[in-house]
Structure 1
Amino acid sequence: MGVKAALPRYEFYFYNVVLCMAMLWAARWIFDVSSSNSNRKTFKTSVQSGWYYSGRKMDTADVEWMMWFSMFREHIIFALSGHVIFAKICTLLAPQYRSLVFMVYGMLAVFTSMGWAYVTLILSHCVLLYSISLVKLRWLCFVAGLTTLATFKMEPFISWQAGFVSGSFELRPLLFYGGCGFTIMRCLSFALENCERKDGNYSILELLKYNFYLPFFYFGPIMTFDKFYIQANNPNLTRKNGEMWNISIQALLNLGVIMIVAVILHFMYILTIPSDMKLLKHISDWALAGLAYLNLVYDWVKAAVMFGVINTVSRLDHLDPPKPPKCITMLYVFSETHFDRGINDFLCNYVYNYLGGKHDNVLDELIGSLCTFGITALWLGPSWVVFIWAFLNCFGLNFELWIAKFFTMEPFISIEVS
């Protein structure tokens, strides 16, 4: 038993060592390609000034990374640092009011960055869904929540609501849709939890505390209301042994990953090279495989860093947030292909597990997965690409159950037992 138990871990480490060696070998080829072709015409638009002292330009093809870690880095650090400072002062002086301080600081930060019209729009949606939650009908809360979410995903409702927020702040459109979308999902979580409460209702103040918690406000992750309510109002703020050490290590790991990505963008141009089809025809197979792998992992790294930074701040506030996404190269079943664990927890808690039961009945599983991926498609924004992605994932999730059921029949079950 000891040998069998150790074998998977041994294979896991062996796989990672081989993968690292292969990636280092491929990186050498990619570096040669980026160095010898830096003056190509296709490179001039996206490869721009970078580290002067190293003589290397930077791959700026990813607008999102450039926006977060170059143009608006100071804004993010300033807002989150202010939150940490105010939260720490309140925790020391009046811990019973810390959730209220989180709300006040969050509302002030949102008002400062987006203006009073945006805050009013958010509050109107909160009041609307809170009023509907008082009826305590799950189906009505779902209809109201998903209809409201659709108003931020479909025209002409998008343009009409976006018209309330004007200005030249470049980050404003991104913050608008991020804050509105996550607000609706949080309000829906609150409404569904209020339906489950047997004695009375949660107050609208609890909804505002939950929604305007700044680290989660614009870009999540979504922490369901039941978990946030318990943790934010927990009077016992003692930490476990080694918890601060783990938080510090996590913060340093996030910083290290940001630095590694910066080095890759300066020395390998993994985002610009694939856009030059003529160049791709002449590069080696090692370089092509390395580019494919790095681009596959790069999107996961962005999400892992964003959620990692947010989670570090929330853990300082004595919360236990959803974990960052699992590395995409370590996923091998459809049931684990969730990119955002906050959204995954939300859907599993309120839709997938609620409708799918124990996930051993084919019909219940089909209904639960169809509803889950239907809401996911609405969340991502209805389009043919999203519909195809949702269909393939929904089919794969059900296909796994069909195969499992098939092999429980004779003669396969007898063969397996023997």
Structure 2
Amino acid sequence: MGWTFMALVVSHCIILYSVALVKKKWMCFAAGLSTLASIKLEPYNSWQEALVTGSFDLQDILFYGGCGFSIMRCMSFALENCDRKEGNYTFSDLLKYNFYLPFFFFGPIMTFDRFHAQANNTQLTRKEREMWNITTKALLHLGVILVVDVFFHYLYILTIPSDMKLVNKLSDWCLAGLAYSNLVYDWIKAAVMFGVINTVATLDHLDPPQPPKCITMLYVFAETYVYDYIGENHDKIFKELLATVCTFAVTTLWLGPCEVVYIWSFFNCFGLNFELWVAKFFSIPPFSIMEEAMGEAMSRRIRGVFNAANFWAIVLYNVLSLNSLEFAKLVGRRIIFKGGLKSVQDHTQHLKCE
């Protein structure tokens, strides 16, 4: 990446370390978000990107990955320094935290307090069968990488959505499978990246964050510093709204402000809050009394209907970020409107036959 790129990253560290010494959290957030925006907004973006010497395939990915994750780590450092009662952490603490190579380009982001405690632990011991587990995970990830590589020679799940003429000719089932496969691929990519990095970090006696859960499982939004810090237990409507807005404001800056990112952030933010609104609404009488009166099986079926709708909402607005707005619109029309109408017509015809 060149020494000028390294100098750029160090300059980010110097700026945010200087702000951290003031010990004002709002200043740390403001400085961090401004620095994060600078690598995505013109003309600051072009100027910084030009500092990378040479030209190669992964240049953009490594530039944004290195700068983006570096700034997020500096924000974590600054916030932890604000909470420190006596004195400040040293600049060398920040450099060790930021330039630990396995985490540098792609994360996962381990918050500074956890990294500092684990990296300075002098009592290094291995748990029983820990090396066996590390070896097993390494071989498993290698196997997944090989399987995905073979699949890419025969399944064109990433390139087919770009050909709208071909996509329009696909059946509803095929289109739904294609959209779902894109999400599974994205999860596998994240799981492998996290898994390989985690395996290396575990060899260094660290306990890194775990890989994301599979997209086939409905789950509460992944743990993040901003989301959990503001949302706390995620059971208060106003705090949840504030936590999601702040989280996706950071994410929007990280990914780069544009139409697709705005739409993706809005619907993700709305979806998380809608889950809480629905849960709160149905927890009040008479709905809570009705659920208590009905059987457990019927309660599961009703919850299943809402979860299925929520699951396909997750599919749709993540397909938007993975592919294109046109492909997401087509999937939405075909699955929700056309597919939903066809299901109603089939059900009506079935009733007539009976």
TM-score range, shorter chain: 0.7 to 0.9
Q: Deviations over 1:61-105 (max 9, x none)?
A: xxxxxxxxxxxxxxxxxxxxxxxxxxxxxxxxxxxxxxxxxxxxx
Say whether 1:182 aligns with 2:69. Answer: yes
Larger deviation, residues 280-289 vs 319-328 = 280-289
Deviation, structure 1 residue 295: 2.7
Is contact 2:4–2:53 with CA below 8 Å preserved after alignment?
Answer: no
Change in Cα spacing, 1:359 to 1:132, as seen in structure 2 (3 Å) is same
Shift, 1:407, TM fit: 2.1
Residue of 47, 71, 96 corresponding to 1:209: 96
Residues 252 and 159 of structure 1: is their aligned pair in 2 closer, same or farther, counting only changes over 3 Å?
A: same
Separation in 2, partners of 1:280, 1:362? 40
- For residue 134 of structure 2, the aligned residue among 231, 244, 247 is 247
Q: Compute the displacement of 1:361 (Å).
A: 2.5
Counterpart residue identity of residue 345, structure 1: T
Asked whether the 8 Å contact 1:258–1:305 carries over to 2, the reply is: yes
How far is 1:184 from its partner? Answer: 0.5
Please name the residue that 2:252 is paired with: 377
Equivalence for 2:234: 359
Alpha-carbon distance between aligned partners in 2 of 1:197 and 1:293, rounded to the nearest angstrom: 45
After TM superposition, the structure 1 = structure 2 runs for residues 141-290 of structure 1, keeping only pairs within 5 Å, are 141-276=28-163, 290=177
Match of 2:197 in 1: 310
| 1:391 is the counterpart of 2:266 | yes
Amino acid across the alignment from 1:385 = V
Indicate the SS of the match to 1:328.
Answer: coil
Root mean square deviation, CA, Å? 2.1
**Superposed displacement of residue 172, structure 1:** 2.8
Match of 1:12 in 2: none
- Correspondence for 1:414 among 261, 274, 289: 289
The question of whether the paired residues in 1 share the 8 Å contact of 2:16 and 2:74 is answered with yes
Change (3 A) 1:149 1:275: closer
C-alpha contact 1:264 1:270 (8 A) present in aligned 2: no
Alpha carbons of structure 1 residues 247 and 411: separation in structure 2 relative to 1, 3 Å = same
Greater RCO, 1 or 2 (C-alpha within 8 Å, sep 6+): 1
CA distance in 2, matches of 1:124, 1:221: 22
Q: Per the alignment, do residues 407 and 200 of structure 1 end up closer, same or farther by CA in structure 2, a change over 3 Å counting?
A: same
| Deviation (angstroms), 1:164 | 2.0
Shift of 1:383: 1.3
Distance 2:79 2:105 in 1: 21
Residue identity matched to 2:210: K
* Matched residues, number: 293
What is the correspondence of 1:53-68 to structure 2 with a 5 Å cutoff? none
Measure, in 1, the Cα distance between the counterparts of 2:282 and 2:171: 43
Distance 2:107 2:154 in 1: 32
SS of structure 2 residue aligned to 1:267 = coil
Following the alignment from structure 1 to structure 2, what is the Cα–Cα distance between the partners of residues 401 and 279? 39
Q: 1:317 to 1:265 in 2, by over 3 A?
A: same
Q: Residues 403 and 232 of structure 1: is their aligned pair in 2 closer, same or farther, counting only changes over 3 Å?
A: same
Structure-2 change in CA distance of 1:267 and 1:367 (3 Å): closer
Contact 1:270 1:291 in 2 (8 A): yes
Structure 2 match to 1:129: 16
Q: Give, in angstroms, the shift of residue 278 of structure 1.
A: 5.5
Distance 1:159 1:353 in 2: 34
Deviation at 1:122, TM superposition (A): 1.3
Deviation of the 1:158 alpha carbon? 0.6
Question: Which of residues 224, 235, 238 in structure 2 aligns to 1:345?
Answer: 224
Matched-pair contact (CA < 8 Å) for 2:157–2:178: yes
Quote how far apart the aligned CAs of 1:364 are.
2.1
Cα shift readout 1:239-283 (whole Å, capped 9, x = no counterpart): 111111111111111111111112212233444445555555666
- The residue number in structure 2 matching 1:80 is none
Unpaired runs of 5+ residues, structure 1, are: 1-113, 339-343
The amino acid across from 2:224 in the alignment is D
Identity %: 65
Residues in 2 aligned to 1:365 and 1:286: alpha-carbon distance in whole angstroms:
36
1:329 aligned counterpart, secondary structure: coil
Paired with 1:122 and 1:292, the residues of 2 have a C-alpha distance of 37
In structure 2, what is the Cα distance between the partners aligned to 1:356 and 1:283? 42
Cα 1:242–1:277 change in 2 (3 A) is same
Q: How many angstroms does 1:193 deviate by?
A: 0.2
Question: CA–CA distance in 2 between the matches of 1:131 and 1:278?
Answer: 54
Distance 1:171 1:398, change over 3 A: closer
Correspondences of 1:29-40 after superposition (within 5 Å):
none
Q: Matches of 2:188 and 2:49 in 1, distance apart? A: 30
Q: Does 1:321 align with 2:200?
A: no
Q: Tell me the distance in 1 between the aligned counterparts of 2:258 and 2:181.
A: 27
Aligned to 2:212, what secondary structure does the other structure show? coil
Instruction: For 2:266, give the aligned amino acid.
Output: F
Whole-Å Cα distance in 2 between the matches of residues 391 and 264 of structure 1?
33
CA distance in 2, matches of 1:368, 1:288: 34
How has the CA–CA distance of structure 1 residues 120 and 401 changed in structure 2, closer, same or farther, with 3 Å as cutoff? Answer: same
Which of 164-173 and 241-250 deviates more?
A: 164-173
**Aligned residue for 1:21?**
none
Q: Which amino acid aligns with 1:167?
A: G
Give the Cα separation in 1 of the matches to 2:173 and 2:280: 41
- Deviations for 1:341-373, whole angstroms, at most 9, x for unmatched residues? xxx433xxxx33333343332222222221122
For 2:270 and 2:187, locate their aligned partners in 1 and report how far apart those are by CA, in whole Å: 23
The gaps in structure 2 that reach 5 residues or longer are 294-354
